[in-house]
Amino acid sequence: MMRSAASTVLLAALLLTSGCEREKREFKSERAESGDRDEVALSSLSPGATPPQVATSGRAATFEGNAYHVAQGKRLFTWFNCNGCHAMGGGDSGPPLMDDKWIYGGTIENIVATIREGRPNGMPSFRGKIPDDQIWEIAAFVRSMGGNLSKNVAPQRNDDLNPFPAENRRPPSPPTTGGQPLPASRGTQ
Amino acid sequence: MSGRAGNVRFVLVVSAPLGLTACNVWQSALDAHGQSAEAVLRQFYGFTALSAGIWLLVIFAMIGALRRRRSLAERLAAPLERRSRPEAFATIAVSTAIGLTAAILIGLTTWSFMTGRTLASLRGRETLTLLVTGDQWWWQVRYEDSQANRTFTTANEIHIPVGQPVKVKLESNDVIHSFWVPSLAGKEDLIPGHQNEIYLKAERPGVYRGQCAEFCGYQHAHMSFLVVADEIPDFEAWRSRQVATAASPTGEEAAAGQRVFLSRGCSICHTVRGTPAGGKVGPDLTHVASRKTVAAGTLPLSRGSLAAWIADPQAIKPGTNMPRVALDPDELNAVVAYVAGLQ
């Protein structure tokens, strides 16, 4: 009896320590603009029986599992005027980011590539303008807006007055045709 | 054993000068040069002297009471006997002490109130209005003017004219900060979504250091600024230099630096008036080389410290929002030459 109680306490204590990683702040950035280490596919189609071949650098976990990076991404999202076209995820002249429709792929590597290289019909290329680590942070935040990240790393809502819950806690807006959201669909978020 | 004693002596000798650090007048409320700070400092000295005097009187009275020998009559008297003469003396002494206490408390309250009036007397008489916005971890300073072409934005260094009341409006972009220039005035918080104000009036020309006085995150300690009080003609000259757009780069290296500045990450966050760089996120760099420090008072301004800061901001101020931009050495030198030329 005593032993099982002790092991329960020990296990609970171990569980507590597992929460420490999510807040760890890693300030050192990589020296070079890495960029080319992820080979992403923009389509889910591929000839033959196998899906497209992709190769990832494994940096996704560093950014997606860390509350600091996601919160920084939220800050940079506004600072670099992403909300100028995408609003806070609901979409405006740019497509919405909090629905489940990903025109150029929804993994973090895809989103990083989209920000870095730009996409036709309006998405600018930020290569060389935003350092790579910050692009990863923004991409992690973009993923969090659709509720794709674990809730314990998703950023809280802003400090300023806001009648809505945080982006990642709102119901996703209905998918609309890319780049052309209907005015009516914007009122429903 | 003697080694242990030697260690202790070494630690004592080494730590002794630490006691002197409080005497540094670089940033101290005991080194008042502003109307508000002087009023508060007078009151501080007055309160301290008066309280010390009263404390000494009480201690002396207590020592006297403890050392006093009782007279034979007192020792022989019955414990509950009423003796009119000492009783009357005690009544007078205690009443006088209560009266004095009340008078001193009322006097100190009045003094404190009058000091408050002195601090508030600057309100509405300002000849200059600034809007200071706190950011993690630097200060944006906007000089307001009824003529739009005389307004400008700078950062981390505030120039004010000597003898003129200056209104400082305080706002914050992220968390609560606190604006504190001990030599000129008290503290005032910068609160997101709310505008506070504080009034400064420097009595003497000089450079006064200010510091964020409300813990605001990782680099709170490196969020300082300078207030430079200039004679009025010097201030006007400084102001007209600041209003002007940035100087064109002189020389081949600085021109290359400007091209790097505009084509890479720098211009995404920083403004250099007179060029296409118009980012609003970081400090305005139009006249950055005219300031005395880099990175909100973290380093003295020099070509070397600019290079160190641009090469790896996270090594100097971990957590700062300025990222490391991957520049090769030639690009770095060129950018530094350009930025160092932004007088």
Q: Is B17 a domain residue?
A: no
Q: Which residue in this structure is represented by tokens 């003017």? A: B145
CB contacts < 8 Å between A and B, how many? 41
pLDDT value for A106: 87
Domain CATH for B227: 2.60.40.420
**Residue where a domain terminates, one of B238, B271, B287:** B238
Query: What is the phi/psi pair of residue B77, to 5°?
Result: -65, 150
A129 close contact with B: CB closer than 8 A: yes
Domain CATH for A71: 1.10.760.10
Q: Is A23 a domain residue?
A: no
pLDDT value for A73: 92
Q: Is A15 a domain residue?
A: no
pLDDT value for A8: 79
Q: Is A30 a domain residue?
A: no
Looking at per-residue pLDDT, the higher value among A158 and B116 belongs to B116
Looking at per-residue pLDDT, the higher value among A152 and B161 belongs to B161
Percent of chain A with pLDDT over 90: 22
- Whether B148 and B282 share a structural domain: no
Q: Is B19 a domain residue?
A: no
* Count of domains forming chain A: 1
**Residue where a domain terminates, one of B238, B262, B279:** B238
Chain A residues close to B318, C-beta within 8 Å? 27
Between B174, B268, B319, which is nearest A80 by CB? B268
- Whether B232 and B262 share a structural domain: no
pLDDT value for B182: 94
Q: Is A177 a domain residue?
A: no
Specify whether the CB–CB gap between A79 and A165 falls below 8 A: no
Q: Which domain holds residue B259?
A: 252-340
Which residue of B261, B281, B328 is the best one to mutate when testing the A interface, meaning the one whose CB has the most A CBs within 10 A?
B281
pLDDT value for B19: 52
Interface contact flag, A131 B192, Cβ < 8 Å? no
- Whether B199 and B327 share a structural domain: no
- Tell whether the model's pLDDT for residue A51 goes beyond 50: yes
Q: Is B244 a domain residue?
A: no
Percent of chain A with pLDDT over 70: 74
Best CA proximity match to A64, nearest among A126, A112, A16: A112
CA angle A39, A43, A47 (to 5 degrees): 95
pLDDT value for B52: 97
pLDDT value for A1: 60
Q: Is B15 a domain residue?
A: no
- Tell whether the model's pLDDT for residue A183 goes beyond 70: no
- Whether B279 and B153 share a structural domain: no
What's the average model confidence in pLDDT over A9-32?
68
Q: Please list the ranges in chain B whose pLDDT falls under 70.
A: 1-25
pLDDT value for A185: 46
Give me the amino acid identity at B42. R
Give me the amino acid identity at B34. G
- Whether B106 and B220 share a structural domain: yes
Specify whether the CB–CB gap between B226 and B303 falls below 8 A: no
Q: Which residue in this structure is represented by tokens 């007397």? A: B121
What digits encode the pLDDT tens for the residues A62-116? 888 888 899 899 999 999 999 899 988 888 899 999 888 888 888 899 999 999 9
Closest Cα in chain B, distance from residue A59 (Å) = 18
Q: Is B68 a domain residue?
A: no
Confidence of residue A153 (pLDDT cuts 50, 70, 90): confident
Q: Which domain holds residue A144?
A: 60-162
**Residue where a domain terminates, one of B238, B267, B293:** B238
Confidence of residue A16 (pLDDT cuts 50, 70, 90): low
- Whether B37 and B155 share a structural domain: yes
Which residue of B324, B331, B335 is the best one to mutate when testing the A interface, meaning the one whose CB has the most A CBs within 10 A?
B324
Looking at per-residue pLDDT, the higher value among A44 and A189 belongs to A44
pLDDT value for A189: 42
Which residue of A27, A159, A160 is the best one to mutate when testing the B interface, meaning the one whose CB has the most B CBs within 10 A?
A27
Q: Which residues of A79-111 are buried (b: 16+ CB within 10 A; e: fewer)?
A: bbebbeebbbbbbeebbbbbbebbbbbebbbbb
Between A29, A80, A130, which is nearest B324 by CB? A29
Looking at per-residue pLDDT, the higher value among B105 and A40 belongs to B105
- Whether B104 and B194 share a structural domain: yes
- Tell whether the model's pLDDT for residue A168 goes beyond 60: yes
3-state secondary structure of B84: helix
- Whether B166 and B291 share a structural domain: no
- Whether B37 and B162 share a structural domain: yes
pLDDT value for A138: 94
**For residue A12, how far is the Cα from the chain centroid?**
30
Mean pLDDT of chain A, nearest integer: 79
Q: Is A123 a domain residue?
A: yes
* Count of domains forming chain B: 2
Q: Which residue does chain A place closest to B319, by CA atoms? A: A27
Give me the amino acid identity at A112. V
